[in-house]
Chain A
């Protein structure tokens, strides 16, 4: 069953076509990757899904309802969470506070609750703090809980961003180059983490340049070039697809 569907989505910036007539379908419970050369429009696709941009044409359907034109906060509330290509943690908040902030969408405290610290508010704060601790444990960062996000090592920041995204209890998690800047050991841990996230019932859609990671973790791969989908299929098929090889390496000269 399809969880996320892009239906002929296009995005123009003035005369520039960033995404052209893109259709995609992501099955519930799967791990799907999107690859493509730099500037292919991959991050734009994430920005379209999460409401940073509105599509110039086409529709985006999440869990059977259109999310086109929703604001980012509304998309998050519907159950889509994301990380960013260039990490966007709250630099001067502790790791724990970052994750607690991620739970905002699932909290119920009103302005009056926040002002007056009603019993209901205090109970909720305790729950949220406890859950944030659990999530830090889940990404193996419980010892960093009081450290400012910006003081964490790079690989930890990537994991913290994932924990913060999971805090909104998403059904779909978008990971934008989660392995960027990681060493081989950290990449292995990341693969295991992605598998565990999926095992928890979250569908994962990721952008990644690291082919080893993409090939080992994803069930389906979509390839984007110049804003267009040039191939789609399981890793084995993508590996040997002529158009994909061409997009990455250029066309081979015909032998004289």
Chain B
């Protein structure tokens, strides 16, 4: 136990970063990376724990962000405080998690992915087309800035950094609790064998909807924090590429394992928002006109292919996922056979 605690002692140094590194753009980067880490932790509940492949996760990020934009801005003259909105928006996102999850309950694997992909497209389109409420493509601007005991956050990234840190700590605590609980075991069981899980007395409907709702609520938190920091929401922030980016974070880091998810999301954020822009700056400084940020998708692709080839279970996988994948690779027909059996047994 003590050795394990020591291994994580470096975490205590993270809050000190803004005191050491006075470069606002670095802190700004870290705060944005925090929002994506929250998203990854939320999607991990849906995909990693419950095994429900969701390709439209950005929809809940959009819902959380727009909830803040509509309820804490001059748009309708409503100004709900930021701290209250964290709860409200995660609640709204959870409700939509249930609404969008309910029609997909009978679907598995590829079919579920296709339907969630559709939802991921529908939600930003809806915000785009409800222009009388959302200003369409222009989005909603000058969102309220959070204040804490009279201190206004303004455009300083440092307080946002601490908010993200607190939210991530909360999310990790909750996700960790879930894994070792009645509900967490129910999710694992459903992922392994849904019919057998039902025979354990597990109500698969409520278990799956709980996963959708909890996963969505994390992205509601991320949406509020991200929108308030950017002070602007617009439909193009929530495109399919966001869902793919967050899923890639899980694949790279290791699905189902919190340390893996944290590492994967931080690595991709680092490449996306730090390494590539810096490389571009350096290139420009030495007289090259190349813009490396244009190659980000090529780079993701290369990273994902490399991961799939050499370490398909991700950088820090959960013990279980690793064993599953190894077995599936050793016997490629395994999952197909199990699915056929399932269809047979459930008529």
Is A92's CB under 8 angstroms from B195's CB? no
Is A101's CB under 8 angstroms from B186's CB? yes
Q: What are 9 inter-chain pairs, A to B, with CB distance below 8 A?
A: A73-B200, A76-B201, A82-B199, A90-B189, A93-B189, A101-B200, A114-B181, A115-B181, A168-B201
Is A111's CB under 8 angstroms from B183's CB? yes
A82–B203 Cα distance when bound, in Å, is 16
Is A91's CB under 8 angstroms from B192's CB? yes
Is A93's CB under 8 angstroms from B188's CB? yes
Contacts of A155 in B (CB 8 A): none
Interface check A164, CB cutoff 8 A:
yes
- Which interface class (under 10, 10 to 19, 20 to 34, 35 or more) fits A? 35 or more
Besides A101-B200, A104-B185, 10 new A-B residue pairs in contact (Cβ under 8 A), listed by A number: A52-B345, A73-B204, A90-B193, A92-B320, A92-B324, A104-B189, A105-B201, A115-B178, A117-B180, A125-B180
Which of A81, A114, A125, A148 has the most chain B CB atoms inside 10 A of its CB? A114
A214–B225 Cα distance when bound, in Å, is 65
A90–B192 Cα distance when bound, in Å, is 5
Is B347's CB under 8 angstroms from A53's CB? yes
Is B198's CB under 8 angstroms from A72's CB? yes
Interface check B196, CB cutoff 8 A:
yes
Name B residues whose Cβ lies closer than 8 Å to a Cβ of A.
174, 177-178, 180-186, 188-189, 192-193, 195-204, 210, 214, 320, 323-324, 327, 341, 345-347
Contacts of B174 in A (CB 8 A): 115-116
Chain A residue nearest to B176 (CB atoms) is: A117
Is B200's CB under 8 angstroms from A114's CB? no
A86-B341, A101-B186, A114-B182 as given contacts; A148 in contact with B200, CB under 8 Å: no
The digit string for A11-50, where 1 denotes a CB below 8 A from any CB of B, is 0010000000000000000000000000000000001001
Is B202's CB under 8 angstroms from A73's CB? yes
Q: Which of A108-155 contact B (CB under 8 A)?
A: 109, 111, 113-117, 121, 124-125, 148, 150
Contacts of B189 in A (CB 8 A): 90, 93, 101, 104
Chain B residue nearest to A53 (CB atoms) is: B347
Cross-interface CB contact of A116 among B177, B196, B327, cutoff 8 Å: B177
Cross-interface CB contact of B210 among A47, A111, A125, cutoff 8 Å: A111
